[in-house]
Chains A and B, each alone.
Chain A
Amino acid sequence: MTRFTRTPITYQDPEKRIHNFDEVCLGYTKEEAIKEAKRCIQCKNPTCVPLCPVNIDIPGFIKAIAEEDFKKAAETLAEYSALPAVCGRVCPQEDQCEKTCILGKKGEPIAIGKLERFAADWALEQGLSLGKTKEPNGHKVAVIGSGPAGVTCAGELAKAGYEVKIFEALHEPGGVLVYGIPEFRLPADDIVQVEIENLKKLGVEIETNVIVGRTITVDEIFDEGYEAIFIGSGAGLPIFMNIPGENLNGVFSANEFLTRNNLMKAFRSDMDTPIKVGNKVAVVGGGNVAMDAARTAKRLGAEVHVVYRRTEEELPAREEEVENAMEEGIIFDFLTNPVEILGDDKGWVRGIKCVKMELGEPDASGRRRPIPIEGSEFEFEVDSVIMALGTSPNPLIPRTTEGLNTDERNRIKLVSEKGQTSREGIFAGGDNVTGSATVILAMGAGKEAAKSIDEYIKSKATNI
């Protein structure tokens, strides 16, 4: 029964793709997309929409694809999302829109993410710039950070008629979309930069190489005539384990490893940034970042082990990424936790000492807590270790902004659900408020904050 079976999508062959950085999932063809879109039963009260953090009219854009009106599908998406080509690729749809799809009860849910990607890619190929802007209203808003939160907030405000400028610390805009998520999952030049170019077409200005807190302060931004500021600076500070041997040569944070490879394109021989990956690598952690680091190391020619303290069931990474990683020959060492990194006499990594774990009672997060098994320590040889244990917000902006309150983990505290911080005129959202989360949640927060900024400025001004 085709109604309950998802239209298959093509992936690059694992044997081939471990030797390149080209995109792994090739996306639907027109025919495949139409076929998959026709499976949607167009529920009167769709259960998919509320689970999308930006509440895209999912049946609406899918209906347009089924009717072969791809432009309408792309326009519908653009009404709700600034980055549909990105979200279609990297959202954990299995835990969001696709989770409650009615078809999922008897068979496979609609491939909402893949259809979103199809429509967005189609629009990018056609060079369509979507989204209508209102007349300029003469009011200026600054956005700090050009990741998913900042880009979404900026796009929404530009559409509402604001003059928006984004300040970005790195030399390329995009945040984690360019330095973190690898090319084989999200092509930076073809997808991310094109979506950002579309944002510029809405009138958003982006100034790179500006580190707020060093190059300028939040208060100096106000002095430049901006009436409100949105902080979307993310959570980019890597967490280390604080175990012996972590500063040996050959130990990297996943952020460093991925930044070298993605942002600096170290995998290309014509680029100046070097990258070092040994013959045998241990990636510590089980999230999307760990999968990205492991699959990158594999493509650079290493044997790769993912060392994770819980079991396959608890892996926080997306199902599709774990499957792809396993197909690519990544070895998973479950219920294993490093206790020490071992060095040779020259200070380079020679191995890793781990302890075996067992699962105990569920902890506060609802997941069963891993407990070390006494006396189970063992060593195995590796020549590189990549730490992918998560990240926390960078404290630079709160430290240099008087009256901007944070919690004990440097997360910016909001005083309302709508992104208002402890200081008037300053709004925040995304990972710097929640700690490291997902692209789409950051986008949702950016969208909410844009609404609040609009209300805030309207409440103060009389000429809108």
Chain B
Amino acid sequence: MYKIVDKKLLAPNIYSMDILAPRVAKAALPGQFIIIIVDENGERVPLTICDSNPEKGTVNIVTQAMGSSTKKLVAKEVGDHIKDFVGPLGKPSEFIHEDIEDLKKKKILFAGGGVGVAPIYPQAKWLVERGVEVDIVTGSKNKDLVILEERFAELTENLFIATDDGSYGFHGMVTNAIDELVENQGKKYDLCVIIGPMIMMKFTSMTTKKHGIPSIVSMNPIMVDGTGMCGACRVTVGGETKFACVDGPEFDAHQIDFDEALRRQAQYKEEEIKKDHEYCELTGGMMA
């Protein structure tokens, strides 16, 4: 059992949680993820690591309550326990193996969408702590859903917040924001790291390709074990089948077959809707 030691509401339906898992906290590197099982009846749910504190032994995750499992998770309070918490899983981000002096010469852009802005934090933090400057673009539906602004502002002056409805910051989506930065503000980037919903990653990849910016995406397919033993998470990268849990989750954005990935991600849609409905009945209308 893994204890929840901190919980914060970041935005409607979006929570930050610190979970006591000393081994994971010690081993976690930028780009990696964990798998949780909330309770006895739970499924294995992959979530990207948003921060870790080896001294306290805690791992931070940010979750948007979407389906039955994430709803069960955010219904837990400080002092409650999560049944299973395993990780860190996946390969760390490529750049941690690169020479720091080389990285310092590069202009790196992070592009996060929705709740996917949270996992860009550990990567950007890792670089900033080593003296590498980064630019950050975040995209949200509206002002209420903008999260982690202060934490990102600590990392860079070049924080570019976009909202779809223009209620805060730049009016438009992440793709429009990148167009603005490159076309109107004359910014040049050597690398873009894109994390967010699959559809956002698809269109953002198309935008960076248009601008000739090499890009990395952190894939979020359906997973079961997360250790390479089932292949539920397989994605086609450059024409080859890869398992996102062990070969990724980060891949060259411009090599991904996004249409296949989007289709595979929706495989259990009917079952998820049905399960969500059952869960709502059980908890007396959590949906509301």
Show the binding face of A for B, using Cβ within 8 Å.
169-171, 179, 208-211, 214-216, 236-238, 240, 242, 246-247, 249-250, 252-253, 255-256, 259-260, 264, 270-274, 276, 346-347, 391, 394, 396
Contact = CB atoms under 8 A, between A and B. Distances in A.
A209 B83 CA distance: 10
Contacts of A255: 229-231
Interface in B222-281: 224-225, 227-232, 234, 236, 241, 246, 260, 263-264, 266-268, 271-272, 275
B41 interface: yes
B268 A274 contact: yes
B229 A238 contact: yes
Contact of B231 (A253, A260, A346, A347): A253
B84 A240 contact: no
Interface-central residue, B83, B231, B268, by most chain A CB under 10 Å? B231
A215 B23 contact: yes
A276 B268 contact: yes
B125 interface: no
A253 B224 CA distance: 12
Nearest to B84: A171
A396 B88 CA distance: 13
Contacts of A250: 267
B246 A396 contact: yes
B268 A169 contact: no
Interface of B: 23-24, 27, 32, 37, 41-44, 68-69, 83-89, 224-225, 227-232, 234, 236, 241, 246, 260, 263-264, 266-268, 271-272, 275
A259 B230 contact: yes
A174 to B, nearest CB: 14
B43 A171 contact: no
Nearest to B42: A272
6 contacts: A208-B84, A209-B85, A215-B86, A249-B263, A346-B263, A396-B227
Main secondary structure of the interface of B (DSSP, over half): mixed
A253 B234 CA distance: 11
A176 to B, nearest CB: 10
Contacts of A276: 267-268, 271
A253 B23 CA distance: 30
Given A171-B83, A396-B246, A216 B228 contact: no
Given A216-B23, A394-B229, A273 B43 contact: yes
A166 to B, nearest CB: 15
A247 B41 contact: no
B41 A270 contact: yes
Contact of B227 (A169, A246, A253, A346): A169
Given A170-B225, A216-B23, A238-B230, 13 more contacts: A171-B44, A171-B86, A215-B88, A247-B260, A255-B231, A260-B224, A270-B41, A272-B42, A272-B69, A274-B43, A274-B271, A394-B227, A396-B246
A274 B43 CA distance: 8
Given A210-B23, A215-B86, A256 B263 contact: no
A256 B224 contact: yes
Interface-central residue, A169, A179, A394, by most chain B CB under 10 Å? A169
Contacts of A260: 224
A208 B234 CA distance: 25
A214 B27 contact: yes
B69 A264 contact: no
Given A272-B42, A347-B263, A247 B229 contact: no
A250 B272 CA distance: 16
A238 B272 CA distance: 26
Contacts of B89: 211, 214
B43 A240 contact: no
Contacts of A247: 234, 236, 241, 260, 264
